[in-house]
Amino acid sequence: MEARVVLVTAPDRDTAIRLARGLVEERLAACVNLQEGVTSIYRWQGVLEESTEVLMVVKTSEGKLAAAQTWLGEHHPYDVPEFVALTPSAVEPKYLAWLLGELA
């Protein structure tokens, strides 16, 4: 089982906190960092958009990815929530042990 870092954006702090707490409570994430004040520029339904969002950095495992994606799809307010999973090239062994232990 390997660590994964998932990037998710939320429309505001309250939503990000609600989603982060839910992921951790359901043991789909060991930790979620929230970075407020992210400016996102994107095209949505043919229109160029700009919005301020909260970036969620979700720490999870390969084995929890599908369940985390499903859970977010059910609880996220966006029609198409961001869910970009990254594979770290290195994870400190004690941190990895803690992370995987929290997901058990």
99 in any annotated domain: no
Whichever domain contains 26, its CATH number is 3.30.70.120
The predicted-structure confidence for 20-42, as pLDDT tens digits, reads as follows: 999 999 999 999 999 999 999 99
What is the total count of domains within the chain?
Answer: 1
Q: Is residue 75 part of a domain?
A: yes
Q: Which domain holds residue 43?
A: 3-91
* Nearest partner of 68 among 55, 56, 52, judged by Cα: 56
User: Does 103 map to a domain?
Assistant: no
102 domain residue, yes or no: no
Residue 23 inside a domain? The answer is: yes
Reported as a pLDDT band with limits 50, 70 and 90, residue 1 is low
Does a structural domain hold residue 25?
A: yes
Mean pLDDT of the chain: 97
For 33-87, write each residue's pLDDT tens digit: 999 999 999 999 999 999 999 999 999 999 999 999 999 999 999 999 999 999 9
Local structure of residue 3 (DSSP, 8 states) = E
Could you please report the per-residue DSSP string of 34-102?
A: EEEEEEEEEEETTEEEEEEEEEEEEEEEGGGHHHHHHHHHHH-SSSS---EEE--S---HHHHHHHHHH
